[in-house]
Amino acid sequence: MGLHKIQMPDVGEGITEAEIVEWNVKVGDVIKEDDVLAAVMTDKATVEIPSPVDGTVADISGEVGDMTAVGAVIITLEVEGEGNAASISAEASAPKAVEEKPASKPASEPKAEPAPKKVAEVKRPTVTKTSAASGALRAEGEKPLASPAVRKRAADAGVKLQYVHGTGPAGRISHDDLDAYISGASAPVGGASKVADTSVEEIKVIGLRRKIAERMQDAKQRIPHITYVDEVDVTAVEDLRAHMNATAKEGQPKLTILPFIMRAMVIAIKDYPKLNSHYDDGNDTLYQYGGVHIGMAAQTPGGLMVPVIRHAETMSVHGMADEAKRLANAARDGSITRDELTGSTITLSSLGKMGGIVSTPVMNSPEVAIVGVNKVEMRPVWRDGGFVPRKIMNLSSSFDHRIVDGWDAAEFIQRIRGLLENPATLFMEA
């Protein structure tokens, strides 16, 4: 007798998880091939899961209503013969990680070993010839020269000395050479700089990554983007921010510049409401929203996620900072709910200190505007007949050009710029 594990099937269209809506079997049931085991629902459809084999239900994972990641084991059957349990367990744990434990490693992963060993072993098949051109390199087939202590250390570290560059007389490998190799500071003998690395690693694009890929491709394929960049003098708002942080009451969150930008977006949207909408291009309809729900692009261990700050128009900058922090943490630790990841009407994208000078944000479809934040930098600015140091930040923003004309886009950003450069106006009720 073996165990046959059945995984949540890939129901297509970039779906990474599905809801179990019905169990048709219970533990102990004897079932035949093609019997329906369960029904699962995605955003778009309900799908029945048939049994691929004859067997007895040994275990059921999850309750009706549970969201379950594609690839996670949902039913275990006892079957004649070996079953597939061994091959499934390692595979199934990766998608599961997206669902609940983003940081956990598959149980079957071998004990962690120093990275250089893997590098050496992966590269090995690709090393076809070791060049003897330089005097310090070893000729083909020549034994590496090293003292017994170095040899022992290398063996313990899993390093093959024939790949280690020796800097000593006659190419002798010292402890320092070994350290350099292990730390990655020295290229392996016959390594990348000498020999073409023809290895190809096959990585399945699944789960969140596939969803991201599909959404990005869809957005870029269907939406004609227009990207507009301007610089904003944030000296005043940065001064205000510093002051507010210095005088913060207990319990108030530390402010970044993002809530100020969100506040500026909320005000600018009042003047340019078309930017806060969803475009249903299938039905030639634009849904213009009254409430401002700002999607906040966040990097998580699994990839890009966009948690949503709902009704930003009702929040103070501190309120937005609190909510942004809570959502970012939830996204990072995987506790974020589906509701918190959907329903944004406009998106704010920031890479923080990695913000660069310019970016070309991709629309978070079906939205029509995305505001990208580049890094704040002290730059010399010509003002009143001389250069003065000012804190400058670029905003790189993209728009759906089918709905938003370049003129409108520019006006919207200039409005935001005006608000940020005169921060008092951020807090004046219109």
Q: Catalytic site residues?
A: 401, 405
Task: Tell whether residue 114 is a contact of another protein (CB under 8 A).
Answer: no
301 Cβ neighbours under 8 A, 6+ residues apart: 102, 103, 332
- Residue in 81, 125, 169, 386 binding another protein, rule: CB under 8 A: 169
Nearer to another protein, 67 or 119 (CB): 119
Bridge partners of residue 397, in order along the sequence: 228, 371
As measured in angstroms, the least distance from the Cβ of 110 to another protein is 14
Q: Work out which of 108, 147, 183, 285 binds another protein, going by CB under 8 A.
A: 147
Give the C-alpha separation, 53 to 83, whole Å. Answer: 10
- Find the binder of another protein among 38, 146, 371, 419 (CB under 8 A): 146
Contacts of residues 100-108 at CB distance under 8 Å and 24 or more positions apart, as own/partner, are 100/334, 101/334, 102/300, 102/301, 102/302, 102/332, 102/333, 102/334, 103/301
Measured CA to CA, the distance from residue 288 to residue 111 in angstroms comes to: 54
Q: How far is the CB of 119 from another protein (least distance, A)?
A: 17
Please, what sign has the CA dihedral across residues 74, 78, 83, 85?
positive
Q: Is 172 in the site for another protein (CB under 8 A)?
A: yes
Nearest distance from residue 151's CB to another protein, in Å?
Answer: 6
**Quick one: 33 or 142, whose CB is closer to another protein?**
142
Cβ of residue 172: shortest distance to another protein, in angstroms? 4
- Applying CB under 8 A, among 107, 112, 133, 170 the residue interacting with another protein is 170
156 binds another protein (CB under 8 A): yes
Residue from 37, 75, 35 nearest 58 by CA: 75
Give the pair of three-digit tokens for residue 280. 């249903």
SS3 percent helix, strand, coil of the chain, rounded to 5, is 35, 25, 40
102 binds another protein (CB under 8 A): no
Question: Considering only 45-53, 142-150, 260-268, 316-324, which stretch makes contact with another protein by CB under 8 A?
Answer: 142-150
Q: Which of 137, 145, 226, 351 binds another protein (CB under 8 A)?
A: 145
Verify binding: residue 189, another protein, rule CB under 8 A. Answer: no
Binds another protein (CB under 8 A): choice among 55, 62, 71, 171? 171
CA distances 108 to 71, 91, 102, 310, 323, Å, are 16, 10, 16, 41, 38
- 259 binds another protein, rule: CB under 8 A: no
Task: Report yes or no: 260 and 268 within 8 Å, Cβ to Cβ.
Answer: no
Q: Does 210 bind another protein (CB under 8 A)?
A: no
**Which C-beta is closer to another protein: that of 172 or that of 379?**
172
Task: Give the binding-site size for another protein (rule: CB under 8 A).
Answer: 14
Contact of 292 with 345, CB cutoff 8 Å: yes
Q: Which residues bind to another protein, rule: CB under 8 A?
A: 135, 145-148, 151, 155-156, 158, 168-172
